[in-house]
Chains A and B, each alone.
Chain A
Amino acid sequence: MFLATLIGASVVIFVVLEVLPGNAAQTMLGPDATPQTVAALAHKLGLDRPPVERYVSWIAGLAHGDFGLSYAYGTPIADLIENGLAVSLPLALLAMLLTTALALGLGILAAAHHRRLGDLGAMTLSQVGIAVPNFWLAILLILFFAVRLRWFAAGGFPGWDAGVGPALKALVLPAVALAAVQAAILTRVIRAAVLDVMREDFVRTARAKGLSRAAVLWRHVLRNALIPVVTIMGLQFANLVAGTVVVENVFYLPGLGRLVFQSIANRDGVVVRDAIMLLVVMVVAVNFLIDILYLVIDPRLRARR
């Protein structure tokens, strides 16, 4: 199933970026190039081979970790992607961490105060969080924390060589911008899931045998509420990946998203192809991991297999 998705995705990406558009060699050389030089470059890049052959060699290359050379920079694409991942991966993890912490806190608060002030407040906050575009929040964060308070830089990335502290500091505002929307959605899911489980008979039993509300919530309810929550987190991961593309551009972070973006501007089709394929692989892999995670969370599913 996951393999089928990956193969499908790779075919779509390949067809879109390779077969349909005009000649990559022509684009690279510009409109003034003679047909002979274009043909020569096309031959050098292997563009004159049949599409199926090029597709197979692309996939074979990916499988060996050989991503090819960038048209625009002439450097190995693997290096470009590695540099991008060094920014995007920590950013995504930090955002995911923030999302989970925020959403768990607010979601449980809302469920515990169902239909009271805490619930209303958390739900209003969540509605607003869903409506605020992440790039606008990013701009507002820059306006307040970088332009006015000068606590953070307005953008850019010092690199991990500058030390973990400064590098992480550059990722804080982007991660907050990314996490806010995700947390807003996840808060509602957690609240609904917790409320659902709290109506179950075993919760009443646990309360009846004398466990406190808090103990029931932490020990019994949360664990059972995790399945829908984890599912949504998996689906959200695709949005998080898309979000990093946008937010990296707001903060001028040299991540994978910015690489994709610049490669489009450079008409560097092979880099776009590899980077987007990698993003799709990550999304599919995360959802695969989540399917496995179900079995860890819920022993009942293990028995059913």
Chain B
Amino acid sequence: MSGLAGHSRPSVFRHPSLAVGAALTALFVLAAALSLVWAPHSPFDIDVPHKLAAPSAAHWLGTDAFGRDVASLLLVGAQNSLLVGVVAVAIGLIIGAALGLLAAAMGGFPEDLVMRLADFAFAFPAVLSAILLAALFGPSVLDAILAIGVFNVPVFARVTRAAARGVWTRDFILAARAAGSGTLRISLEHILPNILPGLTVQATIQFATAVLAEAALSYLGLGTQPPQPSWGRMLNDAQTLMFQAPQLAVYPGLAIALAVLGLNLLGDGLNDLLDPRLARTR
């Protein structure tokens, strides 16, 4: 990937992980979008006489223990993973970025406080906080979103603070100050746009983590509740049928792995694209 030929091509081709990641992510999003308007069958249609059917023209990936169409369950499951991921990352991003900007702008005690809280929250992985929430309110997809979202807050707070501190030392901030802009205004108009690329990369990676966490929680029965199709839940159902229908345990896991792989590669690729200095050392 070196030499003149590499440079004359559009940058996407110089970043194979970006291309593969974008393609897989697009597939994930398209599957979710498609399932809103069309699926081969309804994922709620129970057809017990045709349960555990092998793949056929009518059921591309066969049917599950209730005779539901596995391909349709996978498509609609994408919707679920996407929704949980988007909302959980949005919670973490909005609250975390606000806290991080605040910490970088104020310094001193508020900064220490925010960072100590972030340290503290790191002792609670998403799965543990979801278990606590489930113990509290009973299992639901809302608990899962909340738990994953809360877990994302310290991650974004740290990234935002670290990046924002770097921007605060730059000359154009001094100029903005001299022009009479207040701390809040500088944070929103100058700091935030400058750290947005880094936040985008982090958001992509956290999205992947959120998809994984949702799958794990739904697998444990603490996330998405039936009959709403969810990849994690499908794996849980498949595990009881491992001897009769091992193929059922393969597809949902593959879907999760491909979605997560795509998002992670996209994040890595974006990182290389936005920060070429880093790319060279990779």
Contacts and interface: CB of A to CB of B under 8 A. Distances in A.
A9 B124 contact: yes
Given A131-B208, A131-B264, A143-B246, A136 B235 contact: yes
B228 interface: no
B249 interface: yes
A24 B221 CA distance: 22
Contact of B123 (A5, A16, A147, A264): A5
Given A17-B136, A133-B219, 13 more contacts: A9-B124, A17-B135, A130-B264, A132-B253, A133-B212, A133-B260, A136-B235, A136-B249, A140-B249, A196-B281, A241-B128, A272-B131, A280-B124
Interface string B108-136: 00000000100110111111100111111
Nearest to A155: B239
Contacts of B103: none
Contacts of A147: 242-243, 246
Given A13-B132, A264-B131, A246 B219 contact: yes
Interface in B206-250: 208, 212, 215-216, 219-220, 232, 235, 238-239, 242-243, 246, 249-250
Interface string B238-282: 110011001001101100111011001100000000000000010
A280 B123 contact: yes
Interface of A: 4-5, 8-9, 13, 16-17, 20-21, 127-128, 130-136, 139-140, 142-143, 147, 154, 195-196, 235, 238-239, 241-243, 245-246, 249-250, 260-261, 264, 269, 272, 276, 279-280, 283-284
Interface of B: 116, 119-120, 122-128, 131-136, 208, 212, 215-216, 219-220, 232, 235, 238-239, 242-243, 246, 249-250, 252-253, 256-258, 260-261, 264-265, 281
A265 B253 CA distance: 26
B235 A139 contact: yes
A16 to B, nearest CB: 5
B260 A130 contact: yes
19 contacts: A5-B123, A17-B135, A21-B135, A21-B136, A127-B264, A128-B257, A130-B261, A130-B264, A133-B212, A133-B216, A133-B253, A135-B235, A238-B122, A241-B128, A246-B127, A246-B220, A261-B131, A264-B135, A280-B124
Contacts of B219: 133, 135, 246
Contacts of B135: 16-17, 21, 264, 269, 272
Contact of A242 (B116, B126, B136, B260): B126
B220 A127 contact: no
Contact of A246 (B116, B136, B216, B246): B216
Contacts of A13: 132
A219 to B, nearest CB: 23
A283 B281 CA distance: 32
B131 A276 contact: yes
Contacts of A241: 125, 128
Given A17-B135, A264-B131, A133 B123 contact: no
A4 B249 CA distance: 44
Nearest to B2: A115
B220 A139 contact: no
Contacts, number: 119
Given A17-B136, A264-B131, A276-B132, A131 B120 contact: no
A215 to B, nearest CB: 24
Contacts of B136: 16-17, 20-21
B257 A133 contact: yes
B242 A142 contact: yes
Contacts of B133: 16
A276 B258 contact: no
B64 to A, nearest CB: 15
Contacts of A243: 127
A139 B257 contact: no
Given A132-B257, A139-B238, A279 B128 contact: yes
Nearest to B130: A242
A196 B278 CA distance: 12
Contacts of B232: 133, 135
B132 A16 contact: yes
A26 B83 CA distance: 36
User: Which 9 residue pairs across A and B have the least CB separation, nearest first?
Assistant: A136-B253, A242-B125, A131-B261, A242-B127, A131-B260, A264-B135, A131-B257, A132-B257, A283-B123
A16 B216 CA distance: 22
Contacts of B235: 135-136, 139
A214 B264 CA distance: 32
B281 A195 contact: yes
